[in-house]
Structure 1
Amino acid sequence: MKLHILPLLLASLLPPVASAQAHPATQEVSLGTSALTYNSFLRPSAPFLMLEAAYHRRAASEGPWNALRLGVGVRSGLPANATFFPLEGFLQAQLTARFGIWEASMGPEIGLSGFARLDYSNRGFPTQDLPNLEDTRISPLYVALDAAPLRFHFGRFLVSALELQVGTTAPSFGAVARVQLGLLRIGASL
């Protein structure tokens, strides 16, 4: 009697394993444009128009881990002469929720930015000490929270607009705010 139960238990485990293999990990490449600014209490930076190329990979299994996307990307921006190194690289981890063609995503991002700077004009400060102190607290390392509520899939293709990213530079968290508004992103699943 017990020997007959064992094959049934093994057979009941096979469909989830087979379905996990039948759904390979989803890979996605995208190109986008956004506006980026760094702000402190005293000085904002001029906005940069950013161009981005990104790659994301979704977990291969079904269930709760299928909602996790890991990504890597690079951005460059204009005006390039406003910074020493007009490039930034980033890593993302996002949770997604998909209903029909709509798939919102949200998650943390960490990166290194050559655009981490404030406006260097002396706007009536009685002394240069305050702007110089702020400059010592800004760094190229940043952490941010990225939200993409208007993300839509049309077959293999995706379109996203009005993504919002809010973050700060590290290690002096909160000294300088990083705000990025994603204008438009177009991508495709591979």
Structure 2
Amino acid sequence: MSRMGVVSKIYCKIWQNDFAKLPIATKELLFRDLQLTYQWERTEKTDREMLAHMSTMHRSWHSKQKKRHFNGKSLDDVIASVPAGVDSLEWQTMCEMWTTTDERRVADRNKQNRATQSMPYRRGRNSHYQLMNDFEAMTQMIAPSSDMDVESHTPATPEDAFISVMGKDRPGRVHCAGSGETLGTWYRST
């Protein structure tokens, strides 16, 4: 488990969904402990991004536990199969929450939506937050500089900015196009 996972486990209940909704005092304790390890400059934006990242990691953990221990079993069997490192009373509370009418309705709606998805995720292992940062870096490279020294900064072309941030395409791989695309199939089709 990562340091971020350990810290969230200390200060948050396992059924917590959105870390941005935590009490301010709890957030400050989280940031204090995480800053000892990660040493980031605290701004409102970085705090928001850190909480969003932790919420995403925690929801992913929820999903894995639900698939592994909950789906297709009776409530008694699920409550008895407590994952390693999880408090049994917190696990029971979480399992009972998964059986509520609202949770079932949301789970069924999400399952239905996933079945009709027409555009699969093609970013690979990088998170949406990393993608957002990459696009922001590319935008800054393309945009003309507002500094006094405009002559020394010429904006990059969109293709140059993309290559600078993402790297050049390699044989057998096209950035942001998914694992099924190669240089030959991608550039021949477009």
Q: TM-score range by the shorter chain?
A: under 0.3
TM-score (normalised: structure 2): 0.20
**Larger RCO (CA under 8 A, 6+ residues apart):** 1
TM-score (normalised: structure 1): 0.20
Q: Which has the higher helix share?
A: 2
Q: Which has the higher strand share?
A: 1
